A and B are shown apart, each in its own frame.
Chain A
Amino acid sequence: MKKSQASRVGVTLALASMMLAACGGNNEGGGANGNAPAPEASGNNGNGAKQEKVKLTLWHNFAGDDLRAKTVRSFIDQFKQDNPDVELDAQAIPPDGYRQRLATVAAANEMPDLSFVYAGSHSTELYKAGLLQPITELTDANPEWKGKFLPGAFDPYTFEPNQIYTAPLGMSATSILYYNTSLFEKYSVKVPTTWDEMLAAIKTFNDHGITPIALGNKAPWVAQSTIIGSLADRVTGTEWFKNAAAQKDAKFTDPQFVEALGYFKQLVDNKAFQEGANSIDNTQAEQYFIQGNAAMMVSGAWTLTNLAAAASEEQMKPIDVTVLPAIPGGKGDANSITGGAGGGLALSSRTTGAAKEAALKLIYTLSGPEAQKAIAESNSMVMYDTEIDQSKVTSLYYKAFNLVKKTGITPVYDAILSAEGAEALNNGLQELMMDGKPEDVAQKVQDAQARSVTP
């Protein structure tokens, strides 16, 4: 593995230098991408003389079999049909390796014209490297469309004042509290709205041999993204977090953050999670929960999509959704979940001319009003004001869709933290689930964040 890793880096570098050399030469070549040695170049049956086909490359991660991925792909196909003059090369790359592959071509300055990017550090790094260009002309041309996005939809993509870099295709809502009403009724437990009620519920379920909260934290972002972000926001308030992330007047070693980690530790100490939560993945935890082994699960909107694909309507019927309980004396809004704009298509800074026009059109196709409605009806949240047809979605999704409309949205931790800071927190939470102390974890997060923010 070491060797192939090394050679991968090597090849990347070799490509990088070649691309750099190539770029010097073909500035006037416009948006043409150097990576398509396709056979079409030698004359399109002779009749392509008048108008050359516009070549457009797109990388996205809607590769799966779930409804949302299929929906997005159907819009891509639609675009191909409607625009015969555009030769669209769309690559669907499975989500697990997507970031790495995009990082590799980005390092080689070989970005596709359009690429699906995530909110937060992912797109920010690409922007900072000068690889993206704004799509503001598209939003300016369609003010009505722009206006129907929910508040904050463009925040993570407004890298400089009045310049928007992408329009989100979806919305991430990461800390919905799913609970099994039949288990709550069976043991007459009140759905927790305060921290004490939460601890009481945990105790009752444990006494009856039911796992209180299912958690699959093998990929360590789960506890961070679903639980600590929301919990910490309730304790510290959003303002503090943004300051701490920017390392301005606030630090992660501040007592309020240590206190927030302490609440997570309380969950661990009270055996809220099933044994070995650090060695099973999120999907396994979802299964464990939907089969009635656990009373609650804190998870994101992706669980709606997964359950819609994997669970029966009967299994889903007793499941209901709410927000995490309030924290005594907390500074943040208790009726909130963590979330924000989902990923969107970003435009490569090398794309110009006709290719750019086609690219903007494709962005509108995939995040315009019709696509937003279709995505919302594929059991997947959107950051766009749209009405959905209740009969097209699962009952659980409909509940969550309405819950999210009523709650405030607070930032997801790893969307704001640097990649290093998020990694430190992810590992820190796993440590808390073993023997770690909140103070030590806070210190590590602070060190990592400080190192990556200060140049």
Chain B
Amino acid sequence: MAPAVRSRGFIALALLPALLLFLVFVIVPIFWSAYYGLFDWKGLGSAKFIGLGNYEEILQDEIFWRALKNNLILVASSIAGQIPIALLLALLLLRNTLFSRFIRSAVFMPMVLSTVVVGLIWGYIYHPQFGLANAVLEWLGLESWTRAWLSDPKVNMLAVSIPINWSNVGPYLIIFIAALQNISSEIDDAAKIDGAVGWRKLISVTLPMIWGTVVVSLVLCISGSLKAFDHVIVMTGGGPAQSTELLATYMYNNTFDVYRYGYGSAVSTMIIVISALLIGLQYALTGRKKEG
């Protein structure tokens, strides 16, 4: 008993510094900004308490809903894009050959690039006059498909989500490879004896074995997409006419461009609430699937 208690005390002690930092710089500001969301405040001068006024305004602001919709498009595109692509590549590149290591590094590379660089590169790819995307389409004889990718509101969310997915596949690939390598060889052998190969093995053996990892990746994916900010700020700044506005850029613009700190704080609180809701929903869904 005694050693257990002592070690528990030691664990608490060892965690304390990190926990304190986390509390002071992450948890407390969350409540703080929720509190400041109750004020009409320009960031300078005095703040006027307006109760839930900011939150009411948010719910009535069509730009907020558009930003939320754009964020959900990003969430959908990263769940449909990043996770399956990363899983597929992980299955293909599991072996430690020179070739697969090369491909792995290549897929991981954009993750190492600064997002500003990624944004600038893709900004040039999409450039309406000299862009690579349009040039390739013209070369293929698809002139009618060329367009100003980042300023045409019909396609610009899609155009923006491609580089975001491109630069985020890498980490999931690594996570999946690690998980796949953790499946012990006995299970492989057992599956072989039972005659489970190919597709069947993937569905009945491999996926269930790494399901925990998939769920964690989904959480990372959802929260990552809800926090998305940097790529969009560099490529479009949320424009034109707020057509690629995300929750985070909407908050940033309100806070730092229009000097509505109170309103911006309220928006950031909404982002947290929405993230929590989505992740809760996702846990409920994936949890049931696991039982079934």
**Residues of chain B lying within 8 A (CB to CB) of residue A6:** 26, 29-30, 32-33, 268
B241 A428 Cβ-Cβ under 8 A: yes
Residue of B nearest to A423 (CB): B258
With A and B bound together, what is the CA distance between A420 and B25 in angstroms? Answer: 30
**Residues of chain B lying within 8 A (CB to CB) of residue A431:** 240-241
B259 A103 Cβ-Cβ under 8 A: yes
With A and B bound together, what is the CA distance between A99 and B33 in angstroms? Answer: 21
With A and B bound together, what is the CA distance between A274 and B131 in angstroms? Answer: 14
Q: A125-B259, A420-B258 are in contact. Are A106 and B44 (CB under 8 A)?
A: yes
B43 A10 Cβ-Cβ under 8 A: no
Listed stretches A54-62, A195-203, A277-285, A343-351; interface member: A277-285
B29 A288 Cβ-Cβ under 8 A: no
With A and B bound together, what is the CA distance between A300 and B127 in angstroms? Answer: 23
Q: Which secondary structure dominates where chain A touches chain B?
A: helix
CB distance from B170 to the nearest CB of A (A): 19
> A2 touches which one: B25, B128, B259, B271 (CB < 8 A)?
B271
Q: A128-B44, A427-B241 are in contact. Are A1 and B248 (CB under 8 A)?
A: yes
B44 A279 Cβ-Cβ under 8 A: no
A217 B44 Cβ-Cβ under 8 A: no
A433 B32 Cβ-Cβ under 8 A: no
Contact with A along B117-144 (1 / 0, CB 8 A): 0000001001111000000000000000
Residue of B nearest to A100 (CB): B256
B237 at the interface (CB under 8 A from A): yes
A275 B239 Cβ-Cβ under 8 A: no
Contact with A along B241-259 (1 / 0, CB 8 A): 1110000100111011111
A372 at the interface (CB under 8 A from B): no
> B33 touches which one: A9, A217, A219, A280 (CB < 8 A)?
A9
Interface residue tally on A, bucketed by range: 35 or more
With A and B bound together, what is the CA distance between A128 and B46 in angstroms? Answer: 10
Q: A3-B26, A7-B29, A280-B127 are in contact. Are A436 and B43 (CB under 8 A)?
A: no
A10 B25 Cβ-Cβ under 8 A: yes
**Residues of chain B lying within 8 A (CB to CB) of residue A13:** 29, 32, 36
CB distance from B287 to the nearest CB of A (A): 25
B227 at the interface (CB under 8 A from A): yes
**Residues of chain A lying within 8 A (CB to CB) of residue B150:** 276, 278-279
With A and B bound together, what is the CA distance between A279 and B226 in angstroms? Answer: 23
B240 A279 Cβ-Cβ under 8 A: yes
> A278 touches which one: B151, B251, B255 (CB < 8 A)?
B151
B43 A103 Cβ-Cβ under 8 A: yes
**Residues of chain B lying within 8 A (CB to CB) of residue A303:** none
**Residues of chain A lying within 8 A (CB to CB) of residue B228:** 1
Query: A279-B128, A431-B240 are known contacts; what are 19 more A-B pairs with Cβ within 8 Å?
Result: A3-B26, A5-B268, A7-B26, A9-B255, A9-B261, A10-B32, A13-B29, A128-B44, A129-B44, A129-B45, A131-B44, A276-B129, A278-B148, A278-B240, A279-B151, A279-B240, A280-B129, A428-B241, A433-B151
